[in-house]
Amino acid sequence: MRQLWGTVSVTHTRRNFSPATKREAYQRSRGICECHRVWQLRTYRTGCGVKLSPGNIFYEHIEPDRLGGVNDIDNCATLTKTCWKLKTSNYDRPTIDKSKRQHDRARNIKRESFRPIPGSRASGMKVPMDRSGPVYRDSGRPVFERRR
């Protein structure tokens, strides 16, 4: 996080692994998926044994960068697309999203609500029982002017 005028900025820039770290991680993997190193996956300690191929190699933070993971070789795993997707969709995204929600709640940051359902209290209009058409709650004026 950066310091801006005495307050903490909440912007986060993703930090990728350096080419040297990627080379070292690939050499360590010996061309086989390292899902045995990732504790968030079911294949932890056993591994899937799938060989890495061009276009199917992903260098993944074991502890996500957004949650404080560092960019060193100990936090890098060389994964296939399947293992990478499982980790990202089942662990990383939900955990990071929850962290953001908690951060926002602690600072009283609320998201914009969706468009309200017509006729609800939040919409500002109501539908009278006499079927004359929707009217604005505050003025009683019809929402749609009838043409003659």
Instruction: Please report whether residue 143 resides in a domain.
Output: no
Task: Pinpoint the alpha helices (H) of the chain.
Answer: 19-29, 81-87, 93-106
Q: 20 is in which domain, residue-wise?
A: 16-106
User: Domain total for the chain?
Assistant: 1
Instruction: Please report whether residue 35 resides in a domain.
Output: yes
Instruction: Please report whether residue 83 resides in a domain.
Output: yes
pLDDT tens digits, residue range 60-113?
A: 999 998 888 889 999 999 999 999 999 999 999 999 999 999 999 999 888 777
Instruction: Please report whether residue 89 resides in a domain.
Output: yes
Q: How far apart are CA 7 and CA 47, in angstroms?
A: 44
Instruction: Please report whether residue 116 resides in a domain.
Output: no
Instruction: Please report whether residue 120 resides in a domain.
Output: no
Instruction: Please report whether residue 59 resides in a domain.
Output: yes
Instruction: Please report whether residue 93 resides in a domain.
Output: yes
pLDDT tens digits, residue range 11-55?
A: 677 788 999 999 999 999 999 999 999 999 999 999 999 999 999
